[in-house]
Amino acid sequence: MNSTRIAFLKGHGTENDFVIIPDYEGGLELSPAAVARLCDRRAGIGADGVLRVVRSAAHPEARAMAGEAEWFMDYRNSDGSIAEMCGNGVRVFVRYLERAGLAGAGDLAVATRAGIRRVHLGKPGPDGAPGEITVGMGRALLPAGEVTVSVGERNWPARNVNMGNPHAVCFVDDLAEAGKLLDAPAVSPASAYPEGVNVEFVADRGPRHVAMRVHERGSGETRSCGTGACAVMVATARRDGHDPARDGHPVTYTVDVPGGRLVISENPDGTVEMTAPAVIVAEGLLDASLLG
């Protein structure tokens, strides 16, 4: 791109925050170092990750999905690494499309590295408040095998859940047990997660109501993780004896995160849906030199 200024926006979903880069025709190269600079909270804009908005037909990883989804969410973690999916990111991505006049209330599809995600964008409320966004998160996979998570000298058994990206879900009596999560928890066996893992710690709050903390692969502890909340809901439902495919009816849990609240449902066909807010908080121009 020849311009010395590049448009950006900043948004968050339950305080999981993102820099949004509109790049419809895919002409902008984002190196891992450039993404890390953008996400730096002191020397850059500051975020848990970057959402690049690209037409599916213009991106080699998404062209096969262009017939179903016009837009591809090119998501990067704050360290510059590429991720398959981000549940909070999808909602913020769709909120951007709405703001830019590229989508309206109703149903739409978004292409991601984990496949097509179906989204319902709610109508604005009577007071003009943005409508909530429901994302079809696909089916949870529950790989077999025992997994252990360690923080310092503490160890917990974990449930292996894959929501298009990998998760290890641990149940604790108190979320403070997880200690400081800015350093990555150790997970064993390493062979269970060859490309790294997101780790969730979960404590009960009431009937079908839990709270969680999360260490995201490539980002550290964040205020929220959408795929993590879905993994937590599925792991908790199984712990509690609920299996919608067996029982024939959906089950819904409320999942509190440090940045807010998400409502997660699992349906008898195995699909998981996430409903929560998403907000655009700023837009502006960044100097292209920040991208190197």
Q: Is 131 known to sit in a ligand binding site?
A: no
86 is catalytic: yes
Query: Would the CA dihedral through 218, 214, 90, 147 be positive or negative?
Result: positive
- How many Cβ atoms are within 10 Å of 14's Cβ, its own excluded? 26
Residue 18 token pair = 């993102």
Q: Is 216 known to sit in a ligand binding site?
A: yes
Q: Is 218 known to sit in a ligand binding site?
A: no
Pairs from 54-62 (Cβ < 8 Å, separation ≥ 24): 54/23, 54/24, 54/25, 54/26, 55/24, 55/25, 55/26, 56/111, 58/24, 58/25, 58/26, 59/26, 61/113, 62/111
Residues 94 and 275 sit within 8 Å (Cβ to Cβ): no
Q: How far apart are CA 237 and CA 19, in angstroms?
A: 33
The single residue of 39, 170, 225, 230 carrying the catalytic annotation is 225
Q: Is 16 known to sit in a ligand binding site?
A: yes
Q: Is 162 known to sit in a ligand binding site?
A: no
The single residue of 39, 86, 170, 230 carrying the catalytic annotation is 86
Q: How far apart are CA 156 and CA 128, in angstroms?
A: 45
Q: Is 2 known to sit in a ligand binding site?
A: no
DSSP string, 195-224: T--EEEEEEEEETTEEEEEEEETTTEEES-
The DSSP symbol for 45 reads -
225 is catalytic: yes
Q: Is 165 known to sit in a ligand binding site?
A: yes
Q: Is 115 known to sit in a ligand binding site?
A: no
Residues 119 and 107 sit within 8 Å (Cβ to Cβ): yes
- Which residues are annotated binding-site positions? 16, 77, 87-88, 165, 198, 216-217, 226-227
> Residues forming the annotated binding site for substrate?
16, 77, 87-88, 165, 198, 216-217, 226-227
Q: Which residues are catalytic?
A: 86, 225
